[in-house]
């Protein structure tokens, strides 16, 4: 099967989202299977965050040694295979350990594919990073729709994840089999760059923006179905619609926002998006009816969609350190928050109610609005960068 290099990255992002999205959409069923409360479920999901943090910190040399093609094969197929084992786990600690391994593969996947995209951009002479991440969102949207139908039909978690494994295995093997490693572009600033780059004081506003975006994303993806079930006693199909709307509006915004940013600047676009996310969170927090909550999830998805990529661009433009170090520091802080958001919000939901778990996101959104001057008023022409985060 002939595919251009960038199209193979699009498909890879789509497939990894199909794998992880299928699992995340079935979190309510996982809670029932494990017979745990929200706080215990949240602690179980920390396994993803722990594995991702370790991988983002230490896996770069392994990724570079294996090469993009072999690394993609291991991380993509390995993620689907490990998640298919979740229904066989006897208890929450076992699921935690399994998710830790998934997090390890997920971190390596992010480093590998984003660096590969940077190389492809250099060869092609045009950007594909935002569009590639848009296909990640498209994958979540597709799996959200399918998961709603599958849950409503009463199909078990085990059968669902095994069907996903079969699909990802077939398409993944075909995709990777025709892949060739992009030529390595040597950049002086990347030599001897640390694997773990701490944020500087000047980078903190961008980190705050990234953290807020990922917190909203984690809240929408991981807890929307449980919210709809617990607050409104919704049927599985209606409950899954929240995730579907969230993923749909995130995907649309990511795929089409670039011309808007070019015209109006990242700062203005970010303010509008963050304000939209704040409105959506408020609607979910106060929703008197399921349809109000669903509209809130849609606004949350669109609002948090392109905020993080704009923060990455701003980090790359900073001149205090090599861009790869600033981008890595931003990614390692923000991506880990994406995995930490579900367990942290689970603790809040267990003790103060799931409505108030969404309220936790608002202060960070407000802080991000105050930090928005760190973003550029207009996008500058940049050399392609090697982004290290989702």
Task: Supply the pLDDT for residue 23.
Answer: 93
Mean pLDDT over each residue of the chain, to the nearest integer: 84
Q: Is 1-180 assigned to CATH 1.20.1250.20?
A: yes
In contact, 385 and 130? CB cutoff 8 Å? no
Please write the tens of the pLDDT for every residue from 125-144. Answer: 666 767 787 898 888 888 87
What is d(CA 215, CA 238) in angstroms, rounded to the nearest whole number?
23
Q: Is 386 left (phi over 0), alpha (psi -120 to 50) or beta?
A: beta
In contact, 343 and 49? CB cutoff 8 Å? yes
Sign of dihedral through CA atoms 296, 299, 304, 305? positive
Q: Is 73 left (phi over 0), alpha (psi -120 to 50) or beta?
A: alpha
Task: Supply the pLDDT for residue 387.
Answer: 40
Which 3 state secondary structure label does DSSP give 90?
A: coil
Task: Supply the pLDDT for residue 389.
Answer: 37
Please write the tens of the pLDDT for every residue from 11-23. Answer: 999 999 999 989 9
Task: Supply the pLDDT for residue 25.
Answer: 84
Task: Supply the pLDDT for residue 204.
Answer: 93
In contact, 275 and 369? CB cutoff 8 Å? yes
Which 3 state secondary structure label does DSSP give 118?
A: helix
Task: Supply the pLDDT for residue 382.
Answer: 43
The parts of the chain modelled with pLDDT lower than 50 are 187-191, 195, 379-390
Architecture of the domain whose range is 198-377: Up-down Bundle (1.20)
Domain ranges of the chain: 1-180, 198-377
């Amino acid at each position: 099967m002939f595919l251009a290099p960038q199209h193979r990255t699009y498909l890879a992002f789509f497939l990894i989202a199909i794998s992880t999205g299928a699992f995340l959409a079935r979190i309510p069923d996982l809670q029932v299977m494990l017979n745990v409360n929200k706080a215990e479920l949240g602690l179980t999901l920390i396994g993803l965050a722990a594995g991702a943090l370790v991988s983002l910190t230490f896996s770069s040399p392994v990724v570079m040694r294996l090469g993009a093609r072999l690394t993609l094969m291991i991380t993509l197929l390995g993620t689907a295979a490990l998640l298919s084992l979740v229904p066989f786990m006897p208890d929450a600690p076992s699921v935690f350990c399994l998710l830790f391994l998934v997090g390890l593969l997920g971190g390596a996947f992010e480093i590998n594919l984003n660096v590969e995209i940077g190389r492809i951009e250099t060869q092609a002479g045009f950007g594909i990073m935002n569009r590639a991440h848009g296909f990640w969102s498209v994958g979540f949207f597709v799996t959200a729709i399918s998961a709603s139908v599958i849950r409503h039909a009463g199909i078990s978690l085990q059968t669902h994840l095994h069907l996903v494994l079969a699909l990802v295995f077939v398409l993944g093997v075909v995709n990777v089999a025709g892949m060739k490693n992009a030529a390595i572009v040597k950049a002086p600033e990347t030599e001897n760059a640390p694997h773990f780059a701490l944020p500087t004081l000047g980078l903190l506003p961008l980190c705050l923006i990234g953290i807020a975006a990922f917190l909203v994303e984690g809240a929408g993806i991981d807890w929307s179905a449980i919210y709809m079930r617990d607050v409104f006693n919704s049927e599985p199909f209606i409950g899954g619609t929240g995730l579907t709307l969230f993923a749909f509006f995130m995907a649309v915004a990511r795929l089409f926002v670039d011309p808007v940013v070019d015209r109006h600047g990242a700062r203005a676009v970010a303010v509008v998006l963050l304000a939209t996310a704040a409105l959506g969170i408020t609607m979910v927090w106060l929703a008197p009816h399921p349809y109000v909550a669903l509209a809130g999830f849609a606004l949350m998805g669109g609002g948090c969609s392109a905020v993080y990529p704009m923060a990455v661009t701003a980090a790359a433009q900073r001149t205090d350190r090599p861009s790869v170090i600033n981008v890595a520091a931003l990614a390692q802080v923000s991506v880990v928050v994406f995995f930490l958001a579900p367990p942290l919000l689970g603790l809040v939901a267990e003790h103060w109610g799931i409505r108030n778990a969404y309220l936790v996101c608002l202060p960070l959104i407000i802080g991000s609005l105050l930090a928005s001057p760190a973003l550029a008023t207009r996008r500058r022409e940049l050399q392609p960068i090697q982004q290290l985060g989702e």
